[in-house]
Structure 1
């Protein structure tokens, strides 16, 4: 049985914006569906696979009339079985656009892996920037002033689970705490930090920095656990919604056999569990 995705879910899985999904629909690259009479615009797993593969060209094996250049490696694509066509994010002077580009089949895999890493790095950098700016706010630094090198190293030490990094990579690593966790913890600790800044006598900047780090370290495991629990709950909710769509489709197939009461029970249970997830409070309101 085919899975179905909303426009937002399809965009997340394809690594594009929702606007791009709607643009693909307008151009006829993908077709909206309404499984079992649903009013919500949905897209099938087959259409997602088509987007991820980006191909109408691997179904046959023939030499191309005109050789094409791979957008990833820059080499020529001479055979149809090795050609993949994919809408690709291109930065232009007037903004970001998605344009069709040609890839070798193997290069497409490498490109997707590198793109995932790039997106992850962008997210990491965004959380780091937020943590950095919050720390500056704590210390009442002016816009042109920077955090001390010692403060920066202590913060980055949290990222890899060390007192301070030496030659370690502090981005895209499974060690320590993510910059999101560090920033969220800093938000939670802001009242305590401000209180300490106003009341505690510090011998120097390093003494103050170490005291702030102890405050952060006292809360960071709690925040890390809550974020993991929230992520798992969101994943379960997505799975529940997908399961609900599949169950409704299964009921539609069997509706002629008079299983109305069974569907009512299934949908009721799914909606009840979904509502319980919806009641989860945000970590930081």
Structure 2
């Protein structure tokens, strides 16, 4: 007797924007998003949470954010080329190296048909740059003694050093960000409390003057204005 065929389990659908699984059909939206290709910008269908669509659109329209991300990406590119690989600024990075660097932005090996901008998953380029600087202390001595099959093998080995450091770097930067945020919040609260207390003091003083004036008027009235 033939065994019944096992039912194929549907692959979970992950949101293009946040990277989390879309659990309910009511949350599922298909949207065309612009992707950079060798032929230029093309629109491709991507699946998102309904709640993520507005967030993505907002970031897409934020020109300053896009300019900043492009600047951060350029800093990563330049550092990896010059400080890690030791290449001259006139030599461009090959496609494999670029894709590996962009893959870090999304926490992937390669970006795999995704934008490497505006998405809140993976690691931002500033974090990647710091991780590279930390890892480069170990990378440079290793490169002097190691041998590689080819350029891809060399880059992949370097990336292992970077990925070993990046989680720790990301956590440290996040802790620093929260500490600064708390400090700024405390300063604002302290300033607000000072202003509030100063206002209360002035109101109390004004009330005391008013009461004193009223008392004096009552006394004068009592004595028929003879005082």
Q: What do the CA deviations read for 1:44-82 (whole angstroms, capped 9, x no partner)?
A: xxxxxxxxxxxxxxxxxxxxxxxxxxxxxxxxxxxxxxx
How far apart, in 2, do the equivalents of 1:176 and 1:148 lie? 22
For residues 149-164 of structure 1, the aligned pairs below 5 Å read: 149-164=95-110
Q: Which residue matches 1:124?
A: 69
Give the superposition deviation at 1:119.
1.3
Give the superposition deviation at 1:114.
6.6
Q: What do the CA deviations read for 1:68-108 (whole angstroms, capped 9, x no partner)?
A: xxxxxxxxxxxxxxxxxxxxxxxxxxxxxxxxxxxxxxxxx
Unpaired runs of 5+ residues, structure 2, are: 1-57, 206-227
Unpaired runs of 5+ residues, structure 1, are: 1-112, 259-285
Indicate whether 1:223 and 2:169 are aligned: yes
How far apart, in 1, do the equivalents of 2:60 and 2:201 lie? 44
Which among 134, 142, 163 is matched to residue 79 of structure 2? 134
Larger radius of gyration: 2
CA RMSD of aligned residues (A): 1.8
Give the superposition deviation at 1:242.
1.0
Give the superposition deviation at 1:174.
1.1
TM-score normalised to the size of structure 1? 0.48
How far apart, in 1, do the equivalents of 2:90 and 2:70 lie? 20
Give the superposition deviation at 1:234.
1.4
Indicate whether 1:195 and 2:141 are aligned: yes
Q: What do the CA deviations read for 1:103-156 (whole angstroms, capped 9, x no partner)?
A: xxxxxxxxxx57972111122111111111111112221221011111110111
For residues 4-43 of structure 1, the aligned pairs below 5 Å read: none
Q: Which residue matches 1:255?
A: 201
Q: Which residue matches 1:272?
A: none
**8 Å Cα contact 2:59/2:65 also seen in 1:** no
Number of residue equivalences: 146
Which among 100, 115, 137 is matched to residue 169 of structure 1? 115
Q: Which residue matches 1:85?
A: none
How far apart, in 1, do the equivalents of 2:173 and 2:62 lie? 21
**8 Å Cα contact 2:106/2:121 also seen in 1:** yes
Give the superposition deviation at 1:215.
0.2
